[in-house]
Structure 1
């Protein structure tokens, strides 16, 4: 008996566990570290979010082949997906559903000809490229869904677009940090088959921009 055969036999329980764990992560549930500030203030660098991979569909593990639909995407959902541009895993908020006509003028979103409602909640300093930039925090009324977002002052961004019509089986996604997010304004619509899952809560969080201290108040926080 070779050493490899002996090792495989002695560790078959561990191997089976790792295979099942890998299958679970690729087909059922996953976690996603947040590496950038594109979803501030909702998500912060250092957050690790729980992703429900069965929220919308069942996929053949390790592929984008959809075996069955399990649920519908709702406006306001925070989703993880493979970028249609280069395949990078991203996390953004769904703003436009199939058939919606979406535009942005003066940083105000309109869906199907109706501008969304906004309520200013305060101003803060936000870290951007190693410096502190003034930011305005707001609540955006996205249909029946309300969530926090922010606009950064004095940055060259792409605030205006459209109107564009979201094609069938695709979605328009934006980051909550509207002036510091690579999203559908840059790479276009996200086809349904590139969705990975719905982000539902923060599992754990550390102060990635500080001293890596745990941020216990964010542990288990449900996402809006």
Structure 2
């Protein structure tokens, strides 16, 4: 055993350092579903800054130092407060915000979002299946993003008003009618945030022929 450890010590040190790096500093996250369409699509692999908000002990939710505050509009990975599943969504409400949704329109602190650049789309829903949708630019609380709606899909289009508790956040998917977000899983405590997703590392057409989407490589997540 001692001889084996001596022979492979550099490989062991490398993988230990790699594991600490990935669980503490930076990570990558594959996108398996369409809940963040059109911003992120199935087959994207995103880079996640794990120290954007908190420095945590490896493999735990224990924060040893707060390094920054999550902002409205940030796309983040987190553990679901419902079942622990890793999710990726957009922050639309920070502690103290009053949020409401009326017929798909998001209201933040009494101010409705505005929508522009409407575009008709066909949203894939399975092999050989599509459903009509609408893609729009949403401007809310000084943040801007592209979202989409699918009127024919049954979804939670109204909620609130609700007040975001201290040290918690309200998440929505950009694909508003196909996202299991805070409308269903509730507020997300800060301790469950994993990190800030900031760029697309790579992308492939996993629902089709697995060909790479080179145009998405290195793109910032807006």
Aligned to 2:45: 48
- Which residue of 136, 139, 162 maps to 1:138? 136
Instruction: Check conservation: 1:133, 1:153, Cα contact below 8 A.
Output: no
Per-residue Cα deviation, 1:163-184 (whole angstroms, up to 9, x for no partner): 0000000000000000000000
Within 5 Å, which residues of 2 pair with 1:123-162?
Answer: 123-130=120-127, 131-162=129-160
> Where do 1:67-216 residues align within 5 Å?
67-130=64-127, 131-216=129-214
Local SS of the residue matching 1:186: helix
| Cα deviation, residue 124, structure 1 | 1.0
1:222 aligns with 2:220: yes
Offset from partner CA, 1:163-207 (integer Å, 9 cap, x none): 000000000000000000000000100000000000000000001
Please give the TM-score of this superposition, normalised by the length of structure 1: 0.97
Contact (CA 8 Å) 1:120, 1:139: kept in 2 or not?
A: yes
Deviations 1:26-63 (A, max 9, x none): 11000000000000000000000000001001000000
| Aligned residue number for residue 32 of structure 2 | 35
Alpha-carbon contact 2:54-2:64 (below 8 Å) kept: yes
Contact 2:112 2:140 in 1 (8 A): no
Determine the C-alpha separation between the residues in 2 that align with 1:187 and 1:27.
Answer: 25
User: Residue 8 of structure 1: CA displacement?
Assistant: 1.6
Indicate the larger mover: 69-78 or 136-145: 136-145
- Taking the aligned partners of 2:19 and 2:97, their CA distance within structure 1 comes to 37
What do residues 58-103 of structure 1 show as CA deviations (whole Å, max 9, x unaligned)? 0000000010000011100000000001111100000001000101
Structure 1 unaligned spans of 5+? none
Query: Which deviates more from structure 2 when the two are superposed, residues 150-159 or residues 14-23?
Result: 150-159
Moved over 6 A (4+): none
Task: Please state whether the residue corresponding to 2:205 is helix, strand or coil.
Answer: coil
Q: How far did residue 6 of structure 1 move?
A: 2.1
Contact 2:108 2:140 in 1 (8 A): no
Q: How many residues align?
A: 221
Whether the 8 Å contact between 2:108 and 2:141 is mirrored in structure 1 is no
